Structure 1
Amino acid sequence: MRESTIHPAVAALSFDRPVTPAEVNRKSPAEVFATDAARLAADEFAVAVRLPHDHALWSDRRAPWHDTLTVVEAFRQALVLVRYRYLEVAAGTPSGVQQMEFAVGDPAVFRAAPGEPLECVLIMRVTRSPIGDGLLDIAGACTTPRGHGMTFSAGSVVMPRGVYDEIRAYQRSRKRPGDAGPVAAGRATAGPVDPAAVGRRDPRNVVVGRPAEVSGRYPLVVDRTHPSFFDKSYDHVPGTLLLEAARQSVLLAAAEAGPAAVTRCRLSFATFVELDALCECSVTVERGPRSVTGSVGFHQYGERIAEGELELSRLE
């Protein structure tokens, strides 16, 4: 049987040290997973990443598996790195994800070896969308030493700082203060749920609270000092926090406290989630023999501003 050929540029990728934080829009080196990159074709790229084994957020789990959402963060960093190194987009340029989707083939490839990071290669195709200036279409796959890990796709928009500031000023001007809901010191008034209920150990990594009024709608708990979600300054709730809130909301709605991995996800965003107003995640769940599927929506200012679906599979 003929062995598959590995592109020389992929074989030459280094996992020795992370790239500089600025290249992936981060500040702390501890938050950087990308270690190297190469261009394989005009619109195809390879990025080496190391998934940490001792990260304060992504390793805060009760099961010996690397969190599949860590791979999503690695894809985000890989896209920023590709834009910076190969697409002539300056570091720090504002961007946003309009939709994203991923699927995990076999969660077992992410089983964690004690005390060891997991080295992965992300192969990505990044093309400029024909429907608008600054829009990028991303399609990629994650490969681990144990085999195929994940497929990933997303639509992203990149814009000059001045354009971004104008858009955000317009969006905030249309919000009605009376619809903002209760907020106190940057946090929703509901306190965070028990960490064990959402598969966490550290209370600081809990991002949802118990429903205050409507069953099945979980208020976001937004800590602007969190070292991972807010490693840099944001004028909106970052997407990584929203994805984590969706996961935790599904776990709560399903009363699924055992070890589980997000094995499939689809999310779309109509606008940014503001920091200074209550946001809630609504959930309905369907239970299968070994998985739970949750339909989620994010609600703020009386509007549904994001929606999608997550599948959580039990780990053994």
Structure 2
Amino acid sequence: MYGTERRQSSDTTSMTYLSQTHWRSRMTAARGIPATDELDFFATLDRRLLHRRAISEVFLTSMVPTSRDGFLAGAQLPSSHTYFTDHQQERRTLDPLLLLEACRQAETFAAHVLHEVPLDAKFVLRSWSWQQIGQAPELPAGPAELAIRATTSNPQVRDGMVRGLDYDMDLWLGGAPLGSVQLRASYLPAAIYPGIRRHGRGSNPPLSDGAVVQPTTQALAPHQVGRLRPENVVLAGLREEETGTAADLLVPVANPSMFDHPLDHVPGMVAMEAARQLALATTNDRRGSLSRTQVTSLHGEFGRYLELDAPITLHAAPTIGQPELIQVSLRQQGVEAAAIRVGLSAADAVTGSRS
């Protein structure tokens, strides 16, 4: 399952080219300036360079290159959000998926501006992970200012275009370390993407603003998956099986945070959200309450596209010898498309150092 982005029809070639050129010139000029002097949180960056349609879903505010292979980025995280702060918790803490989204925006902006990946290229998420350091910080009363220090490695270049990069990111909030994110992405030229999709599935994929196959089973109640709002629930048909717990994916095409714009597949963020919800649901069955359960780590590997026109099932089971690590498999038409590991702990537990 991949995380490609479809370019918005309202963005003309000239507009996107000028936007990319404008930001690249600004970043080049900033190379000789200390990064901490340039990192600010005054305004969000161009949404088109972050693959976002709604400005309300843009969190990245600044970026400064620190070397040929590194950069600093700033993001302002909302203290209230219909998706990212909708959690059933005794302590209102920062959502790991919000941190992953901020890092995805940093990766996307850096790919376009620092590495000159074309605006119409298709971005493919291969893997990403989050590891918390210490206790999860509580949400501040106002917006939180996140600092990201990133290093890139393993560049893959073909025909003069960067086709892939690995990102290693360290995150801070108010000068205190939060944890780390690793992200591996590929970039496909727009000219070859339709052929790749047709070859992989035998036909052109439908878009998420059209007909989407949904489960016929009953959606879970929000409290079963640590949510408050029904529109943020992405699971249906929770059931026990011989090897663990299973559920069906309820594709949230009407949710503007998970489907900000039309896509031809289920994006990586939805897969991670579904895995988290199933992991929490299994914990709910064992402990009876989710208000004190925290997600302390996430790791996802995406091997195939999750299509919109076929049912998707999830299977979860604790890791042998490490019951706090829940292994979740997303399967479609009998084949595993994504494997996600979710680390859980009580809200007052403290995780170890970065792994």
TM-score (norm 2): 0.79
In the other structure, the counterpart of 2:340 is: 308
- 1:45 and 2:71 equivalent? yes
In the other structure, the counterpart of 1:189 is: 216
Report the Cα distance in structure 1 between the residues aligned to 2:341 and 2:212, rounded to whole angstroms: 31
Report the Cα distance in structure 2 between the residues aligned to 1:265 and 1:67, rounded to whole angstroms: 12
Q: How far does the alpha carbon of each residue in 1:138-172 deviate from its partner, in whole angstroms, 9 at most, with x for none?
A: 11111111511111112110011121111111111
Report the Cα distance in structure 2 between the residues aligned to 1:137 and 1:143, rounded to whole angstroms: 20
In 2, are the aligned partners of 1:126 and 1:139 still within 8 Å (CA)?
A: yes
- 1:126 and 2:152 equivalent? yes
In 2, are the aligned partners of 1:186 and 1:223 still within 8 Å (CA)?
A: no
SS at 1:209 equivalent: strand
SS at 2:256 equivalent: coil
Letter in 1 for 2:85: S
In the other structure, the counterpart of 1:199 is: 226
Letter in 1 for 2:182: S
Identity between Structure 1 and Structure 2 (%): 25
In the other structure, the counterpart of 2:200 is: 171
- Cα RMSD of the aligned pairs, angstroms, is 2.3
Aligned mate of 1:262, from 264, 288, 295:
295
Q: Which moved more, 1:226-235 or 1:85-94?
A: 85-94
Task: Quickly say closer, same or farther: Cα 1:131–1:234, change in 2 above 3 A.
Answer: same
Aligned mate of 1:86, from 103, 114, 126:
114
In 2, are the aligned partners of 1:235 and 1:274 still within 8 Å (CA)?
A: yes
Q: Which moved more, 1:93-102 or 1:210-219?
A: 210-219
Give the number of the structure with larger relative contact order, counting CA–CA contacts within 8 Å between residues 6 or more apart. Answer: 2
Task: Quickly say closer, same or farther: Cα 1:123–1:165, change in 2 above 3 A.
Answer: same
Report the Cα distance in structure 1 between the residues aligned to 2:77 and 2:293, rounded to whole angstroms: 18
In 2, are the aligned partners of 1:279 and 1:300 still within 8 Å (CA)?
A: yes
SS at 2:237 equivalent: coil
Q: How far does the alpha carbon of each residue in 1:177-219 deviate from its partner, in whole angstroms, 9 at most, with x for none?
A: xxxxxxx854222232010111111100000112368561111
SS at 1:276 equivalent: coil
In the other structure, the counterpart of 1:180 is: none
SS at 1:162 equivalent: coil
In 1, are the aligned partners of 2:218 and 2:236 still within 8 Å (CA)?
A: yes
Report the Cα distance in structure 1 between the residues aligned to 2:308 and 2:212, rounded to whole angstroms: 11
SS at 1:113 equivalent: coil
TM-score (norm 1): 0.88
Letter in 1 for 2:324: V
Aligned mate of 1:75, from 97, 103, 108:
103
Letter in 1 for 2:236: G
SS at 1:216 equivalent: strand
In the other structure, the counterpart of 1:240 is: 269
Which stretches in structure 1 are left out of the alignment for 5+ residues? 1-6, 176-183
Aligned mate of 2:318, from 275, 285, 291:
285
In 1, are the aligned partners of 2:237 and 2:248 still within 8 Å (CA)?
A: yes
SS at 2:238 equivalent: coil
In 2, are the aligned partners of 1:267 and 1:307 still within 8 Å (CA)?
A: yes
In 2, are the aligned partners of 1:25 and 1:91 still within 8 Å (CA)?
A: no
Aligned length in residues: 299
In the TM superposition, what is the alpha-carbon distance from 1:128 to its structure 2 partner? 4.1
In the other structure, the counterpart of 2:30 is: none
Task: Quickly say closer, same or farther: Cα 1:286–1:24, change in 2 above 3 A.
Answer: same
- 1:210 and 2:237 equivalent? yes
Aligned mate of 2:278, from 249, 256, 280:
249
